[in-house]
Structure 1
Amino acid sequence: QECTGGVMIASSIIMGRGLAPVEAAIGGWRAFLMARESYGRLLKGFGNDAADAPTMPLPKPEGKLVFDGVSGGPPDLRKFTVSNLSFTLEAGQVLGITGPSAAGKSTLARLAVGVWRPGSGVVRLDGASISDWSREDVGPHIGYLPQDIELFPGTVAENIARFGEVDAEKVVDAARLAGAHQVILELPQGYDTPIGPAGVNLSGGQRQRIGLARAFYGRPPLIVLDEPTSNLDAEGEAAVRQAMEALRGQATVIVIAHRPAVLGGTDQLMVVLKGQIVNFGPTSEVMPQITRRVVARPEGLPQEAGGAAHV
């Protein structure tokens, strides 16, 4: 009987203020647990990236490429666009890949050069998983021409040399191999001509030839060309075929094209349909089958391509 009503109300207010942080923590407990779980997933994801981990440098690859049960697709999609790809390409061989649109050809190219990591299976370059190579170490040994060619602000020579140390002899050799030397000499400042963002001051054919030269720079042991003749005329297509012939035995080359004529000079030919290999073998054996299908169906491959993959 010693506490008045006012003291009791004041005590209740003080206790409420004192317990407010505890109540707030309880109310936000679920969000805290979710944040901690998300943070753990980020740490696990970054932990799988060996960019910061020192790795022993591997010797220069010869170019043998192996797909062992590879499935994969864009990193932001859970659905694989290619599944269970298995084949071996010996060093120095030239492989042609064809198939209808959205068959998975460009996905295969990105997996081959290590731009995308496979969801399952492994891509091996000279026996080592290409994902295990340091990007800085493996980059000079791979030439890649994507469908969407990206050139960067700088000179033509710097773009061909991949913005590393410009070796004039290698730059000219790559340009000659791509049939771009004369085209570059006709530019206002030749190899020193500045290129605007995304190559806006160049035509589509000029960009493609410079992109080809960049892929050939230093004659890397593995070269992947995705639709290399899409913006080229007949002379440009002939230059690509000559380059394939010049690189035979020196580099492993993968050429992706819709038109079988571009793939006539390859050693092996692969037909991809709906993310799977439906035919794979020597070009002399596979090409007649494709030709017969094109004659039978003007749009290209049949809906159900026959022939088992020799893998």
Structure 2
Amino acid sequence: MLRSGGLLSDPRLSSLAPVLRRALIGIVLSSAVLNVLLLAGSIYMMLVYDFVLPGRSLPTLFGLLMMVIAAYVFQGMLDALRGHVLVHLASNVDAALELKAHDLAVTLARLNPARDSGQPVRDVDQVRQFLGGNGPTALVDLPWVFFFVGILFLLHPWLGATVLAGAIVLIALTVATEWISNSATAQLVRLNRDRQQAIETSQRHAETLYAMGMEGQMGTRWRAANGAYRQAQVRLGGKSSVLVTSGRIFRIFLQSVVLTVGALLVLSGKASGGVIFASSILSARALAPIELAIANWRGFVGARQSWQRLGDVMAFGGEARAVQPLPPPRSTMSVEALTLVPPGASEPTVRHVSFVAYAGEAIAIMGASGAGKSTLLRGIAGTLPPLAGEVRLDGATMTQWPRDLLGREIGFLPQNVELLPGTVAQNIARFDPAASVDTIIAAAQQAGVDEMIQQLPDGYNTDVGTDGRRLSGGQRQRIALARALHGDPFLILLDEPNANLDPVGEAALVEAVAAATARGAVVIVVAHRPSILAAIDHVLLMKEGRAVAYGPKRINLSQVSMDAQSA
């Protein structure tokens, strides 16, 4: 069904391979028994016509009826069991891939924003829907076509040859369906991605579009993307429908041909009358898997492409590395010849930056717009993989820690603050269910936001809404600062933390930075407004992606002033 290489070869999904293998063995065995049981109807028809009717034997008729009823009941139970196995297989595959799909979606959004980051989740949905439907049974039953054709050859070579010729025609239709569906399905996925991105962009910028009268222009873009998807869907659906209908009509026609051949054999004395009915049933059964495969081929192609994409994107995300547990960093943070290329850029925007920060120090990264300050902060946080160089904590590279453990030692306040859907308390606690109320309140107090939170309608239980939109920009920024401070992380990275703050918020920010350095944290701040400099020890001056000066605040502030005057 789906190739076991690629995706299943990843060690992170090693537990999925035996599950698929056991399920496949069970499905193949049950299909074998089911297909043998399907002979019961043909045998019953032949015996009734050739023996019961000439002999007028009611006991024989009722005996045969009981046996065929038992065969049908067992067949129904086995078929239901096979469907149950497939549904559970689909569920197990989804459960094995769900977290990985989420991680891949997040990784793609971080490393390649231009790519459709939601595709891995939709690919898992596509695989699950295929495995839980009729597609797998059609594929497993396909080899049994030759079994039933062989039985027809035993009844008479002409019957077998007729059905074999029909099977070849239907297989040709299947190949044509594959040829048409493969590229068309891939194109449909791309167009669906474009239309989803178009509507998501409009939703994300709804206020701006309304305020500036841009809804019509964006609606035109959405209409074009949706129209292209709709036309591609109609084209693919039309072609697939023609092939599916052709296959169904041809199979009905072929049954009539088989009846005709059987009648000719009976008239010529080369077969008994029961052969006519038996051959009709057997031919229908021989061709049914091919027709079912044609009907489900589009789903199979989609699932296969989804499986391949998951394998490709997992390779893009890198292999899981075994890491040794290290003690939490407590001493230094060093940047060594760090070079960074943001997603979508062709050239580095940060080049060969090096500096060392010690516990208890606060550093401001300053420079003109476009100097690479925010990109450097993202590189230090580990959200942007380096092109060259590395970031070390206590001498160890960041890749030597498990990311979930390292994340507890990093507080990150990005330039564009967005809270996650949930309560204020959940956001401050980073959605850690083990976080205590005391640590949440302590982080809020360090950020100077405790009093503001208590004035919200439900206090710490206030729902912030999607991206925190129920709060003002200043409220979001101060709550995000509390999130960065939660758990007393060693490395605190703040990107323009005072951009949306009033004087009260700025004073609280300065106090929070001073308190963090007093307990031994390293604080790095990207700053434009001078108020934050009261808590700063050193200044790193950036210019055109390079660090042109690094040292005590009093020295570098004069350098910043001279650069501003020369500009």
By the TM > 0.5 criterion, same fold?
Answer: yes
1:138-287 correspondence to structure 2 within 5 Å: 138-164=406-432, 165-249=434-518, 250-287=520-557
**Separation (CA, whole Å) in 1 of partners of 2:412 and 2:350:** 19
Q: TM-score, normalised by structure 1?
A: 0.78
Task: Report % sequence identity.
Answer: 43
**Separation (CA, whole Å) in 2 of partners of 1:95 and 1:272:** 13
1:1-311 correspondence to structure 2 within 5 Å: 45-46=316-317, 48-50=318-320, 53-164=321-432, 165-249=434-518, 250-294=520-564, 296=565, 302-303=566-567
**Separation (CA, whole Å) in 2 of partners of 1:43 and 1:172:** 39
1:260: Cα distance to partner? 2.9
**Separation (CA, whole Å) in 2 of partners of 1:280 and 1:124:** 18
**Quick one: which amino acid aligns to residue 366 of structure 2?**
T
What secondary structure does 1:194 align onto?
Answer: coil
1:106: Cα distance to partner? 0.6
**Quick one: which amino acid aligns to residue 159 of structure 1?**
N
Deviations 1:274-311 (A, max 9, x none): 100111101121123324554x3xxxxx44xxxxxxxx
Distance 1:202 1:161, change over 3 A: same
Distance 1:39 1:179, change over 3 A: closer
Deviations 1:9-67 (A, max 9, x none): xxxxxxxxxxxx9xxxxxxxxxxxxxxxx999867644x443xx332211111151111
**Separation (CA, whole Å) in 1 of partners of 2:536 and 2:486:** 21
Query: Who is 1:6 aligned against?
Result: none
What secondary structure does 1:271 align onto?
Answer: strand
What secondary structure does 2:338 align onto?
Answer: strand
**Quick one: which amino acid aligns to residue 281 of structure 1?**
G
Query: Who is 1:9 aligned against?
Result: none
**Quick one: which amino acid aligns to residue 166 of structure 1?**
A
Query: Who is 2:257 aligned against?
Result: none
What secondary structure does 2:535 align onto?
Answer: coil
**Quick one: which amino acid aligns to residue 456 of structure 2?**
L
**Pair member with larger Rg:** 2
**Separation (CA, whole Å) in 2 of partners of 1:208 and 1:195:** 12
Q: Where is the helix percentage greater, Structure 1 or Structure 2?
A: 2
**Separation (CA, whole Å) in 2 of partners of 1:175 and 1:291:** 35
What secondary structure does 1:78 align onto?
Answer: coil
Distance 1:66 1:157, change over 3 A: same
What secondary structure does 1:195 align onto?
Answer: coil
What secondary structure does 2:431 align onto?
Answer: coil
1:133: Cα distance to partner? 2.2
**Separation (CA, whole Å) in 2 of partners of 1:113 and 1:148:** 15
**Quick one: which amino acid aligns to residue 403 of structure 2?**
R
Unaligned runs of 5+ in 2: 1-174, 176-308
The answer on whether the counterparts of 2:506 and 2:531 sit within 8 Å (CA) in structure 1 is no
Deviations 1:156-202 (A, max 9, x none): 00000000023111111111111111110000010011110001110
Distance 1:289 1:74, change over 3 A: closer
Q: Where is the strand percentage greater, Structure 1 or Structure 2?
A: 1
Aligned length: 264
**Separation (CA, whole Å) in 2 of partners of 1:104 and 1:274:** 7
Worse-superposed segment, 269-278 or 60-69:
60-69
1:78: Cα distance to partner? 3.3
**Quick one: which amino acid aligns to residue 227 of structure 1?**
E
The answer on whether the counterparts of 1:98 and 1:260 sit within 8 Å (CA) in structure 2 is no
Query: Who is 2:230 aligned against?
Result: none
Distance 1:186 1:59, change over 3 A: same
**Separation (CA, whole Å) in 2 of partners of 1:150 and 1:131:** 26
**Quick one: which amino acid aligns to residue 285 of structure 1?**
I
